[in-house]
């Protein structure tokens, strides 16, 4: 029986994208080599449909951060090269990266909750000027100025020379901000949480970090980082299942 090949439009319909997206993925090297007829028509197979599904799983949605994105790209490109076993191995690596990010995010929330509960986060005795405060925290002075401009922290000034004075309370707050930023939370998410805390709403800071307000017209994965990581964990499991099916079909 003669094998029936799929047209570009059929592949696109199977995955739920525009035919131009299929062509674009081919140009980007995200699909296995596509044979052509003597007249130039592409000859797609079910393997190409599965590869399109894999690429859509890896790239659809909001930006997940560089480590997750780079690992997901590796999975897709290895599968496109025909190395399905290597892609499966990388997919388990993707799951490990995501779970590592989840652990860091949860650790930051625990640190936040401890600090919000009244436990000191720093023992700075003498107020520091901005240069020394930045060095202590391992950031630049410009970063501290930006956090202040963004409303994340209010820094008192010396009444005589107007220099910023970072005491234990400010340094402790900045430690929380820095940790949350480093594990992936956006400035908007941190501001949302701190505003709730400053209003005395300390009961569920996790929800405040993870729930954009209705008036936040545009938000990224980092504005709801805990939920985004949970969604990516499920996506990694789906990618693994798809790759296992592709390996079984090719055997």
The proportion of the chain whose per-residue pLDDT surpasses 70, expressed as a percent, equals 96
The domains of the chain are located at 8-100+227-250, 104-225
Model confidence band, residue 101 (pLDDT cutoffs 50, 70, 90): very high
Whether 1 has a pLDDT exceeding 60, the answer reads no
- Specify the higher pLDDT residue, 2 or 67: 67
Global pTM reads: 0.85
Whether 135 has a pLDDT exceeding 90, the answer reads yes
Whether 62 has a pLDDT exceeding 90, the answer reads no
Mean pLDDT calculated for residue range 184-206: 89
- Residue 212: predicted pLDDT: 81
- Do the first three CATH levels of 8-100+227-250 and 104-225 match, i.e. the same topology? yes
Q: What is the 3-state secondary structure (H, E, C) of the chain?
A: CCCCCECHHHHHHHHCCCHHHHHHHHHCCCCCCCCECCCCCECECHHHHHHHHHHHHHHCCCCCCHHHHHHHHHHHHHHHCCCHHHHHHHHHHHHHHHHHHHHHHHHHHHHHHHHHCCCCCCCCCCCECHHHHHHHHCCCHHHHHHHHHCCCCCCCECCCCCCECECHHHHHHHHHHHHHHHCCCCHHHHHHHHHHHHCCCCCCHHHHHHCCCCCCCCCCHHHHHHHHHHHHHHHHHHHHHHHHHHHHHHC
- Specify the higher pLDDT residue, 213 or 29: 29
**Top CATH class, 104-225:** mainly alpha
Whether 217 has a pLDDT exceeding 60, the answer reads no
**CATH of the domain spanning 8-100+227-250:** 1.10.1660.10
Whether 172 has a pLDDT exceeding 70, the answer reads yes
Whether 84 has a pLDDT exceeding 50, the answer reads yes
- Residue 216: predicted pLDDT: 62
Model confidence band, residue 214 (pLDDT cutoffs 50, 70, 90): low
> Residues 143-165: pLDDT tens digits?
999 999 999 999 999 888 988 99
- Specify the higher pLDDT residue, 2 or 224: 224
């Amino acid at each position: 029986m003669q094998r029936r090949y799929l047209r570009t439009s059929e592949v696109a319909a199977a995955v739920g994208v525009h035919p131009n997206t299929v062509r674009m993925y081919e140009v980007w090297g995200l699909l296995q080599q596509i044979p052509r007829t003597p007249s130039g028509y592409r000859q797609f197979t079910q393997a190409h449909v599965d590869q399109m599904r894999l690429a859509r799983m890896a790239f659809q949605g909001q930006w997940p951060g560089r480590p997750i994105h780079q690992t997901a790209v590796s999975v897709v490109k290895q599968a496109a090269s025909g190395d399905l076993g290597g892609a499966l191995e990388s997919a388990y690596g993707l799951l490990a990266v995501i779970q590592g990010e989840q652990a860091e995010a949860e650790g930051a929330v625990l640190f936040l909750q401890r600090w919000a509960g009244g436990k000191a986060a720093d023992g700075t005795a003498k107020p520091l000027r901005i240069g020394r405060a930045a060095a202590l925290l391992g950031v630049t002075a410009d970063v501290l100025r930006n956090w202040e401009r963004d409303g994340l922290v209010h820094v008192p000034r010396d009444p005589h020379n107007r220099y910023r004075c970072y005491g234990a309370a400010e340094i402790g707050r900045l430690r929380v901000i820095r940790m949350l930023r480093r594990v992936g939370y956006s400035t908007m998410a941190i501001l949302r949480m701190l505003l709730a805390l400053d209003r005395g709403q300390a009961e569920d800071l996790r929800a405040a970090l993870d729930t954009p307000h209705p008036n936040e017209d545009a938000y990224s994965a980092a504005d709801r980082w805990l939920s985004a990581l949970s969604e990516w964990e499920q996506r990694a499991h789906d990618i693994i299942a798809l790759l296992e099916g592709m390996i079984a079909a090719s055997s």
